[in-house]
Amino acid sequence: MSGADPLTRPAAPVERRVDAIQSVLDEHGMRPGEFIVQADHLVEEKWVPENGARVVAKAWTDAAFRARLLADGKTAVAELGYDMPRHHRHLVILENSESVHNVICCTLCSCTAFTIVGLPPDWYKDLEYRARIVRESRTVLREMGLDLPAEIEIRVWDTTADTRYMVLPTRPPHTESWSEEQLAAIVTRDSLIGVARL
């Protein structure tokens, strides 16, 4: 019964292990079946990158909101109806510019402002991104399709505490007359994490 089991005995199929733990929680009256249905709604419908996209579009079109967002992200996104878990006490907005590019990671696990930018995509949680982005940011971004000119300063943000981050991308110049809805539609999850520019 040691944790060295995976080295000596093949583990039971993962679904069976999930079933096992679910049945334990069920016997303790925690109603896991009901919560799984609720959580499915949250991850599919509620905690989506479209939230962050709407925040960005609003910041691009409303200077007063942008100022509030940069001063206190968590309070500002709440104006648009977006909440964050209790343990995320702080949301810091990282503003890109023509000369600065921000990118987010979590080297120790895979923390994100998931209620605002969506649940992290698989690559964000992979060992490769966690190991390399802090040390080889320009190379990794180039490999991921973002070839930044040498004069752009890169700022990597490692989410090691419970402060959460979201990148505020620069607004593309050709969008001057666009509505907030049109603008929100071009803001991608990758641009909120900082592995793409718009």
Partner 1 sequence: MDGIHDLGGTQGFGAVRHAPDAKAFHEGWEKRVNALYSLAVRLGVFNMDEYRHAIERMEPRHYLTASYYERTLTSLATLCVEKGLCTHEDLERRAGGAFPLALASAPGRSNAATRERFHAGDRVRIKADHVPGHVRMPAYIRGRVGVVVAESPPYPFPDAHAHGVASDDEPTYDVRFSTAELWPSSADAAYVHVGVFQSYLERAPEK
Catalytic residue among 111, 137, 177, 179: 111
Active site residue 106: yes
User: Which of 33/62 has CB closer to partner 1?
Assistant: 33
Minimal distance in Å, beta carbon 56 to partner 1? 17
DSSP 99: S
Minimal distance in Å, beta carbon 76 to partner 1? 16
Catalytic residue among 2, 99, 109, 177: 109
User: Which of 63/161 has CB closer to partner 1?
Assistant: 161
User: Which of 30/179 has CB closer to partner 1?
Assistant: 30
Look at strands 90-95 and 100-105 and give their pairing: unpaired
Give the residue from 166, 155, 158 showing the smallest Cα distance to 189. 166
- From residue 143, give the alpha-carbon distance in Å to each of 128, 134, 138, 167, 196: 12, 14, 9, 20, 11
Catalytic residue among 106, 177, 179, 191: 106
Active site residue 111: yes
Tokens 């992200």 map to which residue? Answer: 73
Residues 119, 115: Cα–Cα separation, whole Å: 7
Minimal distance in Å, beta carbon 175 to partner 1? 19
Minimal distance in Å, beta carbon 159 to partner 1? 7
**Structural tokens at position 63:** 């200077």
- From residue 88, give the alpha-carbon distance in Å to each of 48, 76, 161: 17, 14, 9
Tokens 């040691």 map to which residue? Answer: 2
User: Which of 61/132 has CB closer to partner 1?
Assistant: 132
Coil/strand/helix, residue 150: coil
- Residues known to be catalytic: 106, 109-111
